Structures are given as C-alpha cells and as structure tokens.
Amino acid sequence: MPEFRISITDDEATSEGIERHESYAAARRSAVQTALAFLFDREVLPPALAATCEIRNEETGLAKRFNVDLHVGGDRLV
C-alpha cells in the first residue's frame, strides 16, 4: 500500500503523520475524519471552524490540498 503524508492545520495547531492507504480516496476519508476530530477537540466550539488538509503520496510526490469547514448553527427552541 502506498504511504501518504497527511497534514492538517487550523488556526491553533498543526498535525502531521504518515499513513498507509489503498488509494488517495481512502487517505482523504481518513484526513477528513481526523480533521473533524481535530476541530471538535476544543473547549469552546465557535459557530465556524476550518482546517486545511494536505495529502502527499510519498512515492509519486503528488500532493493535493483541500479545506474542511465546520459550521455550527445556533440553538433554537423545539
């Protein structure tokens, strides 16, 4: 399986690691899950958060970047 370097950055921190995945799509799913966990790991959850993810195939050097945006709506009476 190819190795992918996954970097996740938001306004507070950066996380980076190398993971093995069958495909770029599998690496992207892992990055999105990690980015969401990264964003939720806060004392206070603001109405909007964003993280930038970069996935680099270590064999080919091909890198792709995308954003994960989280928007939390306000509370309402039900």
CA-to-CA distance for 65 and 68, rounded, in angstroms? 10
In a domain, 40, yes or no: yes
In a domain, 50, yes or no: yes
pTM of the model: 0.83
What's the structural domain count of the chain? 1
In a domain, 52, yes or no: yes
pLDDT beyond 90 at 42:
no
Whether the Cβ atoms of residue 56 and residue 4 lie closer than 8 Å to each other: yes
Residue ranges making up the domain that contains 15: 3-71
In a domain, 76, yes or no: no
pLDDT beyond 90 at 63:
yes
In a domain, 77, yes or no: no
In a domain, 78, yes or no: no
pLDDT digits (tens, 9 = 90+) for 14-39: 999 999 999 999 999 999 999 998 88
Mean pLDDT throughout 65-73?
89
Mean pLDDT throughout 40-56?
85
